[in-house]
Amino acid sequence: MDIKLIVFDVDGTIAEPNSPVDRKVSEKLQCFERRGIRIAFASGKNASYLSGLARGIGLADPIIIGENGCIIFYPKELREMILIKKPIEIRKIETSIVNHFADTIWISPNQVQLTVFPKAKKDMQTLKEYIKNTSCNINYVFTVFEHDDAIDILPAGINKGKALADVRDLVDIKKENVMAVGDSINDISMFEDCGMSLIIGKNLKYNSYDVFNTIHDALDFIETNF
């Protein structure tokens, strides 16, 4: 298998949430790039955050898929593609959440996706229930991803896999030459749009994919076999 593009999830994959990327991980990603393999990050984080992460790792020409597939960004060229405008329905949910929870939450400065963080972990369940009830009362179809520390709300039909397909077309790389590395349910769509997928950890149960305990194990596998 000739790998030309590797797409990595971020939190839970290349690093634990709220933790720095290990130096050895950065060095291997740099090494893959020097070998001619394009490196992409696909995450629920916004594009500016991911661009800074890629710069800190030391990548020269990364590809960014932000907000779970809402945004594609090429930092080297300062070229941005917003795949869907922020629907008024998501703005309505955001306004409702802010009015109800006030300063007990933090809203990520995204362009399309709504990402809400409760400042106290004990408020997460209350926030989940409020979002579920509020979204059900709005005539629009949403995709909701629940994480340990936040909740993502985005338009249905938008996902990492769809954005990855657009990226493949833009850089002229075939599906069979793409590898995806992730750890959770919002990575499944990109697993389905690549030639090979690697899962980090035991949280996601997909028997058809190779599973590794750590990102170091996965990177060693890539280095040895590709």
pLDDT of residue 169: 96
Task: Write the DSSP string, 148-165.
Answer: SS-EEEEETT--HHHHHH
Which fold, 5-83+158-225? Answer: Rossmann fold (3.40.50)
Q: What's the pLDDT score for residue 209?
A: 73
Q: How confident is the model at residue 202, as a pLDDT?
A: 80
Percent of the chain with pLDDT over 90: 89
* Number of neighbours of residue 158 by Cβ within 10 angstroms: 20
CATH architecture designation of domain 88-155: Alpha-Beta Complex (3.90)
**15: number of CA atoms within 13 Å, CB side?**
18
C-alpha span between 110 and 44 (Å, rounded)? 10
Mean pLDDT of 125-151: 92
The predicted structure's pLDDT at residue 203? 78
Predicted confidence at residue 207, as pLDDT, reads 63
What average pLDDT does range 140-165 have in this prediction? 94
Q: What is the mean pLDDT of residues 20-42?
A: 97
Among 135-144, 157-166, 175-184, where is mean pLDDT lowest? 135-144
pTM here is 0.94
Q: Quick one: average pLDDT of 221-225? A: 94
Of 226, 177, 222, the closest CA to residue 198 belongs to 222
Question: Which of the pair, 204 or 161, is modelled with greater confidence?
Answer: 161
Q: Residue 139: phi, psi to the nearest 5?
A: -80, 75
**How many Å apart are CA 36 and CA 25, to the nearest integer?**
17
What is the model's pLDDT at position 208?
A: 62
Domain ranges (residues) in the chain: 5-83+158-225, 88-155
Inter-residue contact 72 to 65 (CB < 8 Å): yes
What is the pLDDT averaged over residues 117-136? 94
- Per-residue pLDDT tens for 78-122? 999 999 999 999 999 999 999 999 999 999 999 999 999 999 999
Mean pLDDT in the chain? 94
Those residues with Cβ within 8 angstroms of residue 169's Cβ, 6 or more apart along the chain or in another chain: none
Burial 130-139 (b: 16+ CB within 10 A, else e): bbeebbeeee
The confidence score (pLDDT) of residue 35 equals 96
Angstrom CA distances, 18 to 12, 94, 118, 149, 160, stand at: 10, 24, 15, 10, 21
